[in-house]
Amino acid sequence: MSFINICRDNTDPFYRYKMPPIQSKIEGRGNGIKTAVVNASEVARALDRPSAYIIKYFGIELGAQTSINEATERYLVNGQHDSNRLQELLDGFINKFVLCGACKNPETAIIINKDDTLTRNCKACGKKTLIDPRHKLNQFILKNQVTKSKKTKKSATATANVVGGGVTISDLASGQKTSSRGGLADDSQDSVNQDEEFSDDDELARKINAEAQALPEVDPVKDDDWAVDMSEEAIARRAKELEGLSIDDAKKSLSKYEIFGEWLYRADKSDLPSDIDIYKKANELEIVNKSNTLTVLAQCLFDENIEDEITLHHGLLNKLITSDKHEKAFLGGLERLVGLDVPELITKVPKICMALYDNDLISEETFIKWGTTVSTKFVSDKKIVKKVKRAAKPFITWLQEAEEDEEENESNDDDSE
């Protein structure tokens, strides 16, 4: 079965949040005709919402009665409704009850407030956005509150990745294992019931998951104060040091990041491998989830056209930048690129920062902290670091002022209430 982006307006092939498309089956005839939503449970699991919410939403929007049996996972909507129509309705449900109203991320939880209003609490950006209280589904949710025990609770991040029965293809490629329910087995997630069986009937999905479980564990790579120098001089120096060694010995003498950087480095950026090839190479070297990989990418992926190239490689970068640590490592690589390799880019630093900001790759908090502190972690020459930060000052000042204005507006709103 093919999988689609949870937010279908997002056409990025690297978009991490996937779900199976709605499957429906027409049953009965005449006045007794009904539509069975065959995979409602799988879709609900991907959205981290109860199946009943989705089916009831369909009934409200179609003006039809519904039948919900969670014990047998049988969900019916009166009338004849094809899969395309139900998928369109599901998009409406996702926009109103799943996606964050601020950042459009599906990692949200519905919170019931004391005044019986509903808000979406976003685990990605931290914002709480109000769900339209006029929609009839609100009353259904209030009357059918769902509580989850710690034993079976799963994060939206885990449930939203459902390719191959609970794991994306890229996650399988990176060697991540699947849980017994088909979700990713991640130490950061809450534990799930290990007695539950994987119930996907798709033979290919079962084979992929079996292969993923058989993959060896990835050895941790030390991720301390490290930065690889990918300048032409450094590459030439390392090549000279390796002269006389066998190919195997030479490979052992280089770190995984140096191997990745020298594979990636191209004087002619038009000759770069594709984003998918870059991802596969990082996975092959077992550094696909490491923050230092972003430092190498920042230094090797761009040239004087960096503003356009950031947008061009947005899918890859968005896939790899998954934490504050990754964001800081990427900015550290840019310090090396601008300060050491391509100093003519120094005047473009504010525009580079704006391109990263517009593409939602670096958060405001990380930008402000980076722009207002001087560290020699990535570039040892403090003068160069200060030069880069001075160049970024107009953008950082703009961010700070925008943040202050937002806080002032929120304060005024609170006072008016």
pLDDT tens-digit profile of 285-319? 999 999 999 999 998 888 888 988 999 898 999 99
Instruction: Return d(Cα 93, Cα 62) in angstroms, integer.
Output: 13
Is residue 141 over pLDDT 80? yes
pLDDT tens per residue across span 225-241: 345 555 556 555 555 54
Beta bridge partners of 26: 35
Fold topology of 4-143: Defensin A-like (3.30.30)
| Position 143 pLDDT exceeds 60 | yes
Residue 340: pLDDT band (50, 70, 90) is confident
Least confident of 136-150, 167-181, 381-395: 167-181
Q: Where are the domains of the chain?
A: 4-143, 163-190+197-214, 232-409
Q: Kindly indicate the confidence band of residue 161, based on its pLDDT and cuts at 50, 70 and 90.
A: very low
329 DSSP β-pair partners: none
- Radius of gyration (Cα) for the chain, nearest Å? 25
DSSP state at residue 216: P
Q: What pLDDT does 413 receive? A: 56
Confidence (pTM)? 0.44
The class level of CATH for 232-409 reads mainly alpha
Two tokens, residue 361: 């790759």
Decide if pLDDT at 172 tops 50: no
CA distance 131 to 59: 19
